[in-house]
C-alpha cells in the first residue's frame, strides 16, 4: 500500500469537473434549471442554531457518532465467537437480530441516511484509509483508484445485488434465525473486511456509495425521512464557486466521500450526512436541512432508473420473505429442493425467481401504461426529442416505482416486528449472562412485549399507514409527471392508485396468514 494525496473525485457521476469549467452563461442556465424545477431545501437547522453548527463543524463530531457503534459491533464479533452458543443468551445475536435490525428501519424512516453517519463498518475502514480518527490529513492510505465507470453506471443496482446475495446467505445458514452466534460474528467480520478492502483499493467511500448491501435500501426507504441532508443555501453561489472545495476538499475538510455535489442535490438519496461539505465550504454556503416527510419521494424531477429497479427488486425480496413464512411456500420449496437436488431452503430458483417476477410485474404495468396511456405527441427530456418506446417506459416506470417506496419501506419495517416484540427482552438476559449471572430461567427470557394477535394488528396498521402514504405520494407524482404525458388523467390515476392499493392489501393479507411468524 502507498500513501497518496487525496485527489478530486472524477467518477462517472461526479459533477465537479464540469462545474469548474462552466462559463458564466452556462452557469446561469444550470442555476435556472435547478431553481425552476426543485423545491426549496427546507429548514436549515445549522443556520438556526450556531451552537449546533459549531458542534457539526468540529472534526471530532462524526468520530463521536461512530465510536459507540464500534464498541457494540466489536463486542458482537467477540461475544459471538467466544460466548455461549445459545443465541437467546448471546449478546451478539440478541442485539443484532432482535433490536438493531428493527431500529435501523425506524432510523431510515425518520432521519434518512443517519445510520451512514454513524456506521461502524465504513467508519472503521475510513479511519484506516485516512490514517486518522478525525484530523484532516493530506495523504491517505491505499491505492486511491476510481471505481470503474462500466460498473458505476449501474449505480444503486450493485448494492441491491449485494444485499440479495447477503440475504440469501443469511437465510441459507439461518444466521438471523438466529442460529449459531459465531455465524453472526463471521458475517459482520465479512462486511467489515469487505469494506476495508474497498477503502484501501478505491478512493473515498466507494464501498458505501456503490457496494454496501444496505446502501440502496437506506437511500430509497430513507427518502421518506425528514432530514434532507447537507444542501447548498444559495445555488448561485455554489455554481459560481471556482474552487469547489466541497468536492475537492480543503485544509478544513475532505471532498465529499459520496461524490455528491450540494449544488445539484434534490433529494437525500446520496447524502451520507458526513458533514465534510459543511466543513470545507469557504463561503459558508452549505447547511443541514429538514424537510416534510416524503419530500424526497415526491419532489425529485431527476429520477433514477437504477433506483426504480432497485425498489422493485427490494419489494420482491420482502414479499419472498413473507411467502416463505407460509405453509404453502414450504411445500413449494421442499418440492423444488427435492427435484433440483438442492440441500434445503432457500432454493435459489424460487428466491431469484420470485424477486424477478415481482420486478417484472412492476415493469409490465409501467410498460402497459406507456403503451396504452402515453401521449406520443408530448415532447420529453429536451426540445425536438419525441418519446421513443424506451423513453416512454422509463417515464412511467420510475415515477411508479418511486411512489411505492412508502409501502415497501413499511413492509420491511413490519417484517422485523415479530422478533423485536417477541424476543428483544432477551438482550437483558444476554447482558446478565455476560456479567456471569444465570439467566436461562429468568422470566425475562421468555417475556414478550406483545401477543401474536397484537403483533399482527400492529403489522397491518403499519402497512395501512405505508399504503396511505404511498397513495398520497403517487397521487402527487402522477399529477405532476404522468398526467401531462398521458392521454387519460383518469386512467393514470386509477392504474397507479390500484397498484399501490393492491401492494398494501397483499402485504397486509400475508401478515394475517403468517400470524406473527418471524
Distance CA(57)–CA(438), nearest Å, equals 47
Distance CA(194)–CA(173), nearest Å, equals 19
Identify any residues that bridge with 43 across adjacent strands, giving them in sequence order: 290
Instruction: Dig out the grid coordinates for 97 from the structure.
Output: 437480530
Convert the pLDDT of each residue in 220-261 to its tens digit.
Answer: 999 999 999 999 999 889 888 888 899 998 889 999 999 888
Buried b / exposed e over 49-58, threshold 16 CB at 10 Å, is eeeebeebee
pLDDT at 22 exceeding the cut of 90: no
**Taking Cα atoms as reference points, which of 453, 57, 20, 354 lies closest to residue 230?**
57
Q: Cα separations (Å) of 208 from 20, 116, 197, 302?
A: 26, 8, 12, 22
Per cent of the chain over pLDDT 90 is 64
Convert the pLDDT of each residue in 389-405 to its tens digit.
Answer: 788 899 999 999 999 99
In a 3-state reduction of DSSP, which class is residue 77?
helix
Average pLDDT value for the chain:
87
- Phi and psi based region of residue 509 (left: phi greater than 0; alpha: psi -120 to 50; beta: remaining): alpha
Instruction: Dig out the grid coordinates for 50 from the structure.
Output: 450556531
In a 3-state reduction of DSSP, which class is residue 402?
helix
Contact 93, 74 (CB under 8 A): no
For residue 133, is the peptide bond before it cis, meaning its omega torsion is within 30 degrees of 0? Answer: no
Contact 399, 482 (CB under 8 A): yes
Convert the pLDDT of each residue in 302-318 to its tens digit.
Answer: 899 999 999 999 999 99
pLDDT at 207 exceeding the cut of 90: yes
Identify any residues that bridge with 229 across adjacent strands, giving them in sequence order: 289
pLDDT at 387: 55
CA terminus-to-terminus distance, the chain: 45
Distance CA(210)–CA(194), nearest Å, equals 13
For residue 178, is the peptide bond before it cis, meaning its omega torsion is within 30 degrees of 0? Answer: yes
Contact 52, 296 (CB under 8 A): no
Choice among 21-25, 53-57, 146-150, 464-468 with the minimum mean pLDDT: 21-25
pLDDT at 189: 94
User: Does residue 379 or residue 112 have the better pLDDT?
Assistant: 112
Convert the pLDDT of each residue in 154-184 to its tens digit.
Answer: 989 999 999 999 999 999 999 988 889 999 9
pLDDT at 381 exceeding the cut of 50: no
pLDDT at 501: 96
Identify any residues that bridge with 139 across adjacent strands, giving them in sequence order: 5
pLDDT band per the 50, 70, 90 thresholds, residue 40: low
In a 3-state reduction of DSSP, which class is residue 147?
coil
Contact 372, 446 (CB under 8 A): no
Amino acid at each position: 500500500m502507498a500513501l497518496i494525496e487525496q485527489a478530486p473525485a472524477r467518477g462517472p457521476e461526479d459533477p465537479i469537473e464540469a462545474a469548474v469549467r462552466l462559463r458564466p452563461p452556462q452557469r446561469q442556465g444550470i442555476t435556472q434549471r435547478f431553481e425552476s424545477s426543485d423545491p426549496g431545501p427546507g429548514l436549515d437547522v445549522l443556520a438556526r442554531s450556531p451552537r449546533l453548527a459549531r458542534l457539526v463543524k468540529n472534526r471530532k463530531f462524526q468520530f463521536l457518532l461512530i465510536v459507540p457503534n464500534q464498541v457494540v459491533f466489536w463486542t458482537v464479533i467477540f461475544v459471538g465467537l467466544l460466548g455461549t452458543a445459545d443465541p437467546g443468551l448471546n449478546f451478539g445475536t440478541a442485539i443484532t437480530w432482535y433490536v438493531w435490525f428493527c431500529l435501523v428501519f425506524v432510523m431510515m424512516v425518520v432521519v434518512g441516511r443517519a445510520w451512514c453517519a454513524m456506521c461502524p463498518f465504513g467508519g472503521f475502514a475510513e479511519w484506516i484509509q485516512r490514517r486518522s480518527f478525525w484530523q484532516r490529513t493530506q495523504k491517505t492510505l491505499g491505492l486511491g483508484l476510481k471505481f470503474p465507470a462500466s460498473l458505476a453506471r449501474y449505480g444503486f443496482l450493485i448494492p441491491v445485488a449485494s444485499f440479495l446475495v447477503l440475504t440469501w446467505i443469511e437465510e441459507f445458514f439461518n444466521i438471523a434465525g438466529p442460529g449459531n452466534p459465531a455465524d453472526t460474528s463471521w458475517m459482520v467480520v465479512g462486511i467489515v473486511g469487505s469494506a476495508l478492502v474497498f477503502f484501501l483499493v478505491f478512493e473515498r467511500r466507494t464501498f458505501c456509495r456503490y457496494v454496501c448491501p444496505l446502501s440502496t435500501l437506506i437511500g430509497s426507504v430513507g427518502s421518506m425521512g425528514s432530514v434532507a441532508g447537507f444542501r447548498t443555501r444559495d445555488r448561485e453561489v455554489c455554481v459560481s464557486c471556482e474552487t469547489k472545495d466541497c468536492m475537492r476538499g480543503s485544509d478544513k475538510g475532505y471532498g465529499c466521500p459520496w461524490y455528491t455535489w450540494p449544488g445539484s442535490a434534490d433529494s437525500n438519496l446520496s447524502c451520507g450526512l458526513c458533514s465534510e461539505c459543511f466543513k470545507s465550504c469557504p463561503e459558508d454556503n452549505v447547511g443541514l436541512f429538514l424537510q416534510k416527510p416524503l419530500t424526497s419521494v415526491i419532489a425529485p424531477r431527476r429520477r433514477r432508473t437504477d433506483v426504480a429497479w432497485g425498489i422493485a427488486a427490494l419489494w420482491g425480496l420482502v414479499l419472498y420473505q413473507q411467502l416463505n413464512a407460509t405453509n404453502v411456500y414450504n411445500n413449494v420449496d421442499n418440492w423444488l429442493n427435492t427435484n433440483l437436488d438442492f440441500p434445503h431452503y432457500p432454493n435459489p430458483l424460487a428466491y431469484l425467481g420470485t424477486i424477478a417476477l415481482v420486478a417484472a410485474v412492476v415493469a409490465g404495468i409501467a410498460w402497459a401504461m406507456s403503451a396504452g396511456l402515453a401521449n406520443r405527441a408530448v415532447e420529453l427530456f429536451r426540445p425536438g426529442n419525441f418519446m421513443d418506446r424506451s423513453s416512454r417506459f422509463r417515464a412511467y416506470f420510475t415515477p411508479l416505482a418511486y411512489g411505492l417506496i412508502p409501502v415497501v419501506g413499511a413492509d420491511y419495517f413490519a417484517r422485523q416486528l415479530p422478533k423485536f416484540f417477541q424476543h428483544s427482552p432477551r438482550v437483558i438476559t444476554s447482558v446478565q449472562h455476560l456479567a456471569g449471572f444465570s439467566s436461562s430461567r429468568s422470566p425475562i427470557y421468555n417475556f414478550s412485549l406483545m401477543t401474536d394477535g397484537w403483533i399482527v394488528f400492529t403489522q397491518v396498521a403499519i402497512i395501512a399507514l405505508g399504503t396511505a402514504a404511498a397513495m398520497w405520494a403517487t397521487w402527487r407524482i402522477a399529477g405532476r409527471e404522468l398526467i401531462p404525458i398521458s392521454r387519460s388523467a383518469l386512467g393514470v390515476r386509477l392504474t397507479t392508485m390500484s397498484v399501490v392499493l393492491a401492494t398494501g392489501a397483499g402485504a397486509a393479507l400475508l401478515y394475517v396468514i403468517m400470524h406473527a411468524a418471524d
